[in-house]
Amino acid sequence: MKLQRMNRRALTLGALAVSGALALTACGSDDTGNKSDGGSAGTSAAAGAIKCDDAKGQLLADGSSAQKNAIDAWVKAFTQACNGVQINYKGSGSGAGVTAFTQGQVAFAGSDSALKPEEITASKQVCKGGQGIDLPMVGGPIAVSYNIPGVDNLVLDAPTLAKIFDSKITNWNDKAIKALNPDAKLPDLKIQAFHRAEDSGTTDNFTKYLIATTPENWKYEGGKAWQAKGGQAASGSAGIAQQVKQNSGAIGYMELSYAKEMSTVALDTGAAAPVKASTDSATKAIADAKVVGTGKDLALELNYKTKAEGAYPITLVTYEIACDKGNKADTLPTTKAFLRYLASEDGQKVLVDNDYAPIPAEIIAKVRTTIEELS
Say if residue 130 is in the same domain as residue 167.
no
* pLDDT at residue 33 tops 80: no
Instruction: Tell me how far CA of residue 21 lies from CA of 52, 202, 257, in angstroms.
Output: 28, 9, 8
Last residue of a domain, one of 225, 252, 281: 281
Half-sphere exposure of residue 4, counting CA atoms within 13 Å on the CB side? 1
Contacts of 121 (CB under 8 A, 6+ apart): none
Residues 13 and 130 in one domain: yes
Percent of the chain that is helix, strand, coil (3-state, to 5)? 35, 20, 45
Predicted confidence (pLDDT) per residue in 205-230, tens digit: 899 999 999 999 999 999 888 999 89
Is 73 part of any domain? yes
- 249 and 336 belong to one structural domain: no
pLDDT tens, position by position, 304-316? 999 999 999 999 8
Say if CB 138 and CB 359 are below 8 A apart. Answer: yes
Q: Indicate the SS3 state at residue 87.
A: strand
Same domain as 174, residue 264:
yes
Of 7-21, 72-86, 221-235, 356-370, minimum mean pLDDT range: 7-21
Asked if 93 and 20 count as a contact pair (C-beta separation under 8 A), the reply is: no
For a pLDDT cut of 70, what percent of the chain falls above it?
87
Q: How confident is the model at residue 47 (pLDDT cuts 50, 70, 90)?
A: low
Give helix then strand counts, H and E, for the chain: 13, 15
298-311 burial, b if ≥16 CB within 10 A, otherwise e? bbbebbbebebebb
Query: Is 217 found in the same domain as 331?
Result: no
Whether 156 and 225 map to the same domain: the answer is yes
pLDDT tens, 155-171? 999 999 999 999 999 99
Q: Are 242 and 176 in the same domain?
A: yes
49 falls in which pLDDT band (50, 70, 90)?
A: confident
Q: If we measure between CA atoms, which residue out of 278, 206, 245, 222 comes closest to residue 30?
A: 206
Does 326 lie in the same domain as 236? Answer: no
* Residue type present at position 234: A
In a domain, 103, yes or no: yes
8 Å CB contact between 212 and 304:
yes
Give the residue numbers spanning the domain of 323: 4-138+319-372
Q: Assess whether 246 and 265 both reside in one domain.
A: yes
**Across 17-26, 56-65, 312-321, least confident range:** 17-26
19 is a domain residue: yes
Pair 157, 103 in one domain: no
Q: Is residue 75 part of a domain?
A: yes
Q: What is the mean pLDDT of the chain?
A: 87
In a domain, 205, yes or no: yes
Residue-by-residue DSSP string for 13-61: HTPPP---EEEEETTTEEB--------SHHHHHHHTT---TT--SEEEE
69 with 161, same domain? no
Distance CA 72, CA 94 (A): 16
* Boundary-marking domain end, from 261, 281, 301: 281
Last residue of a domain, one of 281, 308, 330: 281
* pTM more than 0.85: no
Calpha distance 45→48 (Å, rounded): 6
CATH number at residue 208: 3.40.190.10
**In this structure, is residue 289 part of a structural domain?**
no
| 310 compared with 94, residue with greater pLDDT | 310
Residue 20 pLDDT greater than 70, yes or no:
no
Tell me, yes or no, whether 287 lies in a domain.
Answer: no
Confidence of residue 48 (pLDDT cuts 50, 70, 90): low
- Stronger pLDDT, 13 or 210, i.e. the higher one: 210
| pLDDT tier at 201, thresholds 50, 70, 90 | confident
The whole-number average pLDDT for the span 76-87 is 96
Decide if pLDDT at 98 tops 50.
yes
Q: What is the pLDDT of residue 237?
A: 84
Q: What angle do CA 311, 214, 244 make, to 5 degrees?
A: 70
Mean pLDDT, residues 8-35:
38
Above 70 in pLDDT, residue 194?
yes
Q: What is the average pLDDT across 255-269?
A: 92
Domains identified in the chain, total number: 2
158 and 238 co-located in one domain: yes
